[in-house]
Amino acid sequence: MSKLLPEKWLVVIAVLLGTFTIILNNSMLNPAIPYLMDVFDADAVSTGWVITVFMVTMGITVPLTGYLGDKYGKKKLYLAGLVIFMIGSILGSFSWDLSSLIFFRGIQGIAGGIMMPLSMALIFEVFPRNERGLATGIWGIAAMMAPTIGPTVGGLIIEAGSWQWLFLFNVPIGILGIIIGAMYLKNTNKVSGISFDKWGFLTVTIGVGAILYGLGRVSALEHLVQPLNLVLFTLGMISLLLFVKIENRHDQPLLDLSIFENKAFTYSVWIGISTSLGLFGAIFLIPLLIQHVYGLGPVITGLVFLPSALFTGIFMTIGGRLLDRHGPLFVVTSGLVIMAVFTLALGFTTMETSLITIFVLMALRGIGQGFSTMPATTAGMNSIPDRFISRGSAMNNVLRQMSSALGIVFISIYYEVRRVQVFATVDTMQEASLQAIREGFFLLGMIALLTIPLGWMLGKASKNEESKKTMTA
């Protein structure tokens, strides 16, 4: 195989397979919740933990990957994570009740927390700076395609009537990823003399875990003020503030917050948060538009996401190449403009809007997503020293995990509250739902619009960082 492809591209394929497997599995389970409620005779809140526990365990594992990758080597840790994910998948297919299923999903989340930050770090190990945009663009196709095709694949598996295949589906792809990874991932140097920041780990685990747990319990406005949720959010914020203080004073911090002194990295993180809000906000709103407003089925819903996924993948690769050649200023800024324009355009849908129009708007929006998301992240990671890559990637993943959860909670609460308000002034709940969905897209579009200047600032800051590196070389 290495004769057909340079070995560095086989590294991309190896981590792409692992990333794709994790994200696909998570998105396949979303439409399966009502089905699993019947299988295990459980309510929606309890069954929802099948999704929530993955988010929580992944969120509290991610901060560890920088330290563990330095201590044991990135290749060994990544492959261990993929093996753990396979074990969780196989055990999940044998679940005998809801509690066991949730436990095995937690194991999968730990594996995801190990693998996701290391994926980009492993690619950066083998590609020079001027080729990383294309490499991460191709790898990023998995991250963008999986959540869009996952619900369709999950729906087809459920219709076949065997929920166990929601977990067994991962096994052949994961095994292929392990084989290629073992053969072609590069062994990285272990860092000697490092110490474990136990207080940093304790505070970030409590902080991220409490906030994600709290967000996972929220699906309506009144849930925000439930005593337990208020305690969780307060505990989480206090713990994260303590974490920041500890990290700023620690000689070997778990997550080195000094990387935020790098302007290009900071701008890229904010752009990543914005595009994550846009991606997951649309993943929440589009099924409501297609099914609750237009009265079409889940298969059509899945098909609506395909043009967006396809164009995101194509233009992520093109965007990566442009980033390598010209820097992030043009590609990221233009991507954010396209995202903003066509997200706002979805806010003008009516009951008469054709399905073809939705397909086209989603496809064009995918161009913006492809140009902005991965090129911005790659530019930010390129701007920091190589020794910070693992921890910078971990930081990106923690913040995106939290912003994605926050975005879904915010949009879902807005939708539920707003459609009840609008229903008092219109004839049908269908019209009220459409109005709430339209306003949701307007909000997401405004967030994208406000992010556009960050694309320009990222370009300028990235150019300055390159100039500094050239002068010191």
Same domain, 438 and 466: yes
pLDDT band at 216 (very low <50, low <70, confident <90, very high): confident
Bigger pLDDT: 83 or 473? 83
Q: What is the structure's pLDDT at 218?
A: 73
pLDDT band at 84 (very low <50, low <70, confident <90, very high): very high
pLDDT per residue as tens digits for the range 451-473: 999 999 998 888 877 666 555 55
The residue from 206, 234, 251 where one domain ends is 251
pLDDT band at 443 (very low <50, low <70, confident <90, very high): very high
295 CB-contact burial (10 Å; exposed 0-12 / middle 13-18 / buried 19+)? exposed
Range name among 76-80, 187-191, 203-207, 399-403 with the lowest pLDDT average? 187-191
Whether the pLDDT of residue 1 is over 70: the answer is no
Same domain, 216 and 319: no
pLDDT band at 308 (very low <50, low <70, confident <90, very high): confident
Same domain, 71 and 89: yes
pLDDT per residue as tens digits for the range 276-295: 888 878 878 888 888 888 88
The residue from 177, 192, 207 where one domain ends is 192
Q: For 140-158, what is the mean pLDDT?
A: 76
Percent of the chain clearing pLDDT 70 (strictly above): 95
Whether the Cβ atoms of residue 393 and residue 63 lie closer than 8 Å to each other: no
Q: How far apart are CA 127 and CA 112, in angstroms?
A: 23
Same domain, 431 and 363: yes
Q: What is the structure's pLDDT at 254?
A: 78
Whether the Cβ atoms of residue 376 and residue 274 lie closer than 8 Å to each other: no
* CATH code of residue 29: 1.20.1250.20
Q: What is the structure's pLDDT at 142?
A: 74
Q: What is the structure's pLDDT at 442?
A: 94
Q: What is the structure's pLDDT at 141?
A: 77
Q: For 387-399, what is the mean pLDDT?
A: 78
Percent of the chain clearing pLDDT 90 (strictly above): 23
Q: What is the structure's pLDDT at 471?
A: 56
Same domain, 203 and 290: no
Q: Which two three-digit tokens encode residue 297? A: 């089925």
Q: How far apart are CA 286 and CA 295, in angstroms?
A: 12
Q: Where in the sequence is the domain holding 145, given as residue range(s)?
A: 1-192
Q: For 208-224, what is the mean pLDDT?
A: 77
Whether the pLDDT of residue 401 is over 80: the answer is no
pLDDT band at 82 (very low <50, low <70, confident <90, very high): very high
**Which residue has 């500094």 as its token pair?**
468
pLDDT per residue as tens digits for the range 91-102: 999 999 889 999
Same domain, 185 and 208: no
HSE toward the beta carbon, residue 116, CA cutoff 13 A:
29
Give CA 157 to chain center in angstroms.
23
Distance (Å) of CA 457 to CA 53, 118, 328, 393: 37, 27, 10, 21
Q: What are phi and psi of 181, to 5 degrees?
A: -65, -45
Q: How far apart are CA 134 and CA 7, in angstroms?
A: 15
pLDDT band at 439 (very low <50, low <70, confident <90, very high): very high
Q: What is the structure's pLDDT at 469?
A: 58
Q: How far apart are CA 315 and CA 244, in angstroms?
A: 37
pLDDT per residue as tens digits for the range 128-141: 888 888 888 888 77
pLDDT per residue as tens digits for the range 220-273: 677 777 888 889 989 999 999 998 898 888 877 877 788 888 899 999 999 988
Q: For 169-192, what is the mean pLDDT?
A: 85
Whether the pLDDT of residue 110 is over 90: the answer is yes
Sequence letter at residue 13: I
Q: For 187-209, what is the mean pLDDT?
A: 82
Same domain, 302 and 404: yes
Looking at the 3D structure of the chain, how many domains does it have? 3
Same domain, 185 and 327: no
Q: How far apart are CA 129 and CA 194, in angstroms?
A: 27
> Model-level pTM?
0.82
pLDDT per residue as tens digits for the range 38-71: 888 877 667 778 877 888 888 888 888 888 888 8
Bigger pLDDT: 148 or 91? 91
Whether the pLDDT of residue 348 is over 70: the answer is yes
Whether the Cβ atoms of residue 152 and residue 303 lie closer than 8 Å to each other: yes
Same domain, 300 and 268: yes
Q: Which two three-digit tokens encode residue 310? A: 């396809």
The residue from 148, 176, 192 where one domain ends is 192
Q: What is the mean pLDDT of the chain?
A: 84
Same domain, 345 and 430: yes
Read out DSSP for 238-288? Answer: HHHHHHHHHHHH-SS-SS-GGGGGSHHHHHHHHHHHHHHHHHHHHHHHHHI
Sequence letter at residue 172: P
Q: What is the structure's pLDDT at 106?
A: 92
Q: How far apart are CA 105 and CA 50, in angstroms?
A: 6
Q: How far apart are CA 432 and CA 216, in angstroms?
A: 26
Q: How far apart are CA 329 and CA 307, in angstroms?
A: 26
Sequence letter at residue 148: T
Same domain, 331 and 409: yes
Q: What is the structure's pLDDT at 41?
A: 84
Q: For 425-441, what is the mean pLDDT?
A: 89
For the ranges 33-42, 173-182, 418-427, the maximum mean pLDDT occurs at 173-182
Q: What is the structure's pLDDT at 4?
A: 56
Q: Is the dihedral of CA 293, 294, 298, 300 positive or negative?
A: negative
Q: What is the structure's pLDDT at 397?
A: 78
Same domain, 157 and 297: no
Render the burial of 98-114: b for 16+ CB within 10 Å, e for the rest. Answer: beebbebbbbbbbbbbb
